[in-house]
C-alpha cells in the first residue's frame, strides 16, 4: 500500500478512512523509518539522547534514594511514554515525505506549538497510565512480598525470581502491565501523529486509533510487542541503545500511521 500524499488543507471532520495493516506494511514502515533516520540522523540521535538521559537520571535517582526495587518496573513502564517523545520525529518524517529539508527551527516550532493543541492532553493521558503502572507495582509488592524494602536491585531480583511469592508477583504484575500497555498502545499509536497532522479533537483521535488497532489486531499486536521488546533491549546498556532504536521506531510509526489512516 503506498502512502497518501500529505495535504495540509485536508478537512479534519468526518470519520477517517482506516486501512487494514498487514505484515508487509509493518516491514515497509520499518524500512521507511530506518531510511528517514539515515537521511536525518542528527534529529534522531538528539531526541533519542534526551530520552536516554532522562532514563539514566531517573535510574540513578532511584539508586541514590535507596529505591532500587523500582528500577525494574520503571524500565518496563518507561517505553509507555515513548510515543509522546517521538513527536519531533513524526514532524521530521512528515517534512522528508514532502521533499522538504527539516531544520531544528521548524521541528522545535512544531513541538512548541503542541502546547496549545490537543497533543498536549495526550501527555497527561500517558503520564497518568504510567503513574497507575508504578502505583500498582507498589500495591502488588505489598500484597505478595509484604511491606518490605530491598537493600539492592540484586536482592529484589533474587526475591522475585527464587521465591514462590516473587514468581506470583512477577506473573500478576506482567499481566496487569500488559493490559495497561495494550490500552495505552491502542489509544496513542495513531492518535498522536493524527493530532500532529490533522485538526481533530483528542477523543476522535483516540477512538480512531483504537479502531485502527482492532481492525488489524494480529499485525498491530505484533508491532506493539516487537517495539516494546526492542526498546527494553535498547535500554539495558544504560539506555544508550535508545539513541538509534527510538528514532527508527518513531519514524516507522509515522509511516505506519500514514498507511493505516491515509488522507
- Residue 14 is predicted with a pLDDT of 56
What global pTM score does this model have? 0.79
- Residue 10 domain-assigned? no
- Structural domain count, the chain: 1
- Residue 190 domain-assigned? yes
Q: What b/e readout covers 53-85, taking b as 16+ CB neighbours within 10 angstroms?
A: eebeebbeebeeeeebbbbbbbbbbbbbbbbbb
- Residue 2 domain-assigned? no
What's the average model confidence in pLDDT over 50-72? Answer: 75
- Residue 144 domain-assigned? yes
Report the C-alpha gap between 187 and 210 in whole angstroms: 5
- For residue 70 the three cell numbers come to 523500582
- Is 70 exceeded by the pLDDT of residue 8? no
- Please name which of 39, 173, 172 lies closest in space to residue 95, comparing C-alpha atoms: 39
DSSP 134-175: HHHHHHHHHHHT-S---SSHHHHHHHHHHSHHHHHHHHHHHH
- Residue 84 domain-assigned? yes
Q: pLDDT tier at 238 (50, 70, 90 boundaries)?
A: confident
- Is 50 exceeded by the pLDDT of residue 202? yes
- Residue 133: which domain range? 23-260
In the chain, the largest separation of any two C-alpha atoms, in whole Å, equals: 60
In percent, the amount of the chain with pLDDT more than 90 equals 32
- Residue 151 domain-assigned? yes
- Residue 107 domain-assigned? yes
Report the C-alpha gap between 66 and 207 in whole angstroms: 41
Q: Are 127 and 65 in contact (CB under 8 A)?
A: no
Report the C-alpha gap between 143 and 1 in whole angstroms: 49
Which carries the bigger pLDDT value, residue 10 or residue 86?
86
**Residues ≥6 apart with Cβ < 8 Å to 21:** 212, 215, 216, 219, 220, 223, 256, 259, 260
Dihedral, 86, 126, 132, 162 alpha carbons, nearest 10 = -20
**Residues ≥6 apart with Cβ < 8 Å to 230:** 245, 249
Q: pLDDT tier at 1 (50, 70, 90 boundaries)?
A: very low
- In tens, the pLDDT along 15-50 reads 678 999 999 999 999 999 999 999 999 999 998 888
Distance of CA 201 to the CA centre of its chain: 20
- Is 50 exceeded by the pLDDT of residue 187? yes
- Residue 2 is predicted with a pLDDT of 41
**Cell 495493516 sits at which residue?**
21
- Residue 252 domain-assigned? yes
In percent, the amount of the chain with pLDDT more than 70 equals 84
Amino acid at each position: 500500500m503506498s502512502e497518501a500524499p500529505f495535504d495540509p488543507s485536508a478537512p479534519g471532520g468526518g470519520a477517517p478512512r482506516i486501512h487494514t495493516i498487514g505484515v508487509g506494511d509493518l516491514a515497509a514502515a520499518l524500512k521507511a523509518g530506518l531510511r528517514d533516520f539515515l537521511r536525518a540522523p542528527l534529529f534522531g540521535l538528539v531526541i533519542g539522547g534526551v530520552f536516554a538521559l532522562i532514563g539514566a537520571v531517573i535510574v540513578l535517582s532511584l539508586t541514590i534514594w535507596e529505591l532500587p526495587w523500582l528500577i525494574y518496573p520503571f524500565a518496563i513502564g518507561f517505553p509507555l511514554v515513548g510515543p509522546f517523545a517521538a513527536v519531533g520525529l513524526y514532524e521530521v518524517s512528515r517534512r522528508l515525505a514532502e521533499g522538504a529539508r527539516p531544520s531544528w527551527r521548524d521541528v522545535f516550532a512544531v513541538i512548541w506549538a503542541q502546547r496549545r493543541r490537543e497533543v498536549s492532553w495526550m501527555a497527561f493521558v500517558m503520564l497518568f497510565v504510567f503513574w497507575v503502572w508504578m502505583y500498582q507495582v507498589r500495591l502488588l509488592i505489598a500484597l505478595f512480598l509484604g511491606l518490605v524494602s530491598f537493600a539492592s536491585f540484586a536482592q529484589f531480583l533474587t526475591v522475585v525470581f527464587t521465591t514462590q511469592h516473587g514468581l506470583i508477583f512477577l506473573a500478576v504484575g506482567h499481566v496487569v502491565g500488559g493490559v495497561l500497555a495494550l490500552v495505552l498502545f491502542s489509544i496513542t499509536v495513531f492518535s498522536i501523529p493524527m493530532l500532529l497532522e490533522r485538526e481533530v479533537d483528542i477523543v476522535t483521535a483516540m477512538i480512531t486509533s483504537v479502531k485502527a488497532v482492532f481492525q488489524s489486531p494480529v499485525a498491530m499486536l505484533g508491532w506493539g510487542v516487537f517495539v516494546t521488546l526492542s526498546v527494553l533491549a535498547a535500554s539495558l546498556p544504560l539506555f544508550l541503545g535508545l539513541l538509534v532504536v527510538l528514532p527508527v521506531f518513531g519514524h516507522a510509526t509515522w509511516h505506519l500511521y500514514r498507511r493505516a489512516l491515509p488522507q
